[in-house]
Amino acid sequence: MPAYVVVEARIHDRERFAAYARRVPEIVAQYGGEYLALGGAQEVLEGDWGESRVVLHRWPDAASARRFWQSPEYVEAKALRAGTGEFRVILVEGLAEETLEGGR
């Protein structure tokens, strides 16, 4: 069953954050994830999102996303973003392929 990591970010120090942003995509790919949304245009449809940006990656399953999150490579990269903003991150299980096909 696929899983998704959803990140809400409010960046305060873009210059320092850039080092993190350059490093993480290769780690995501290394652990089997893929970006679905990263830095694209956003339009608020409801609620107060302020200056938040959303990043979304898809994983083959929740275990793969956890391996990435706990990996030595990501732990090291995550230290680069310390103090650069406020972040909320959630892991969400997706629907199984057969569930999606049955709903069509």
Question: What CATH number corresponds to the domain at position 57?
Answer: 3.30.70.100
Residue 98 inside a domain? The answer is: no
Q: Are 90 and 69 in contact (CB under 8 A)?
A: no
For the chain, the domain total comes to 1
The residue segments making up the domain with residue 67 are: 3-41+50-93
pTM for this predicted structure: 0.87
**Residue % of the chain over a pLDDT of 90:** 84
pLDDT tens, position by position, 34-73: 999 997 899 999 998 888 999 999 999 999 999 999 999 9
Residue 14 inside a domain? The answer is: yes
For 33, list phi and psi in degrees, rounded to 5.
-95, 165
What pLDDT shows up at residue 49? 87
Instruction: List the helix and strand counts (H, then E) for the chain.
Output: 4, 4
Angle between helices 14-30 and 72-80 (to 10 degrees): 170
Residue 100 inside a domain? The answer is: no
Give the integer Cα–Cα distance in Å for 59 and 70. Answer: 14
Task: Say if residue 103's pLDDT is above 90.
Answer: no
Residue 73's SS3 state is helix
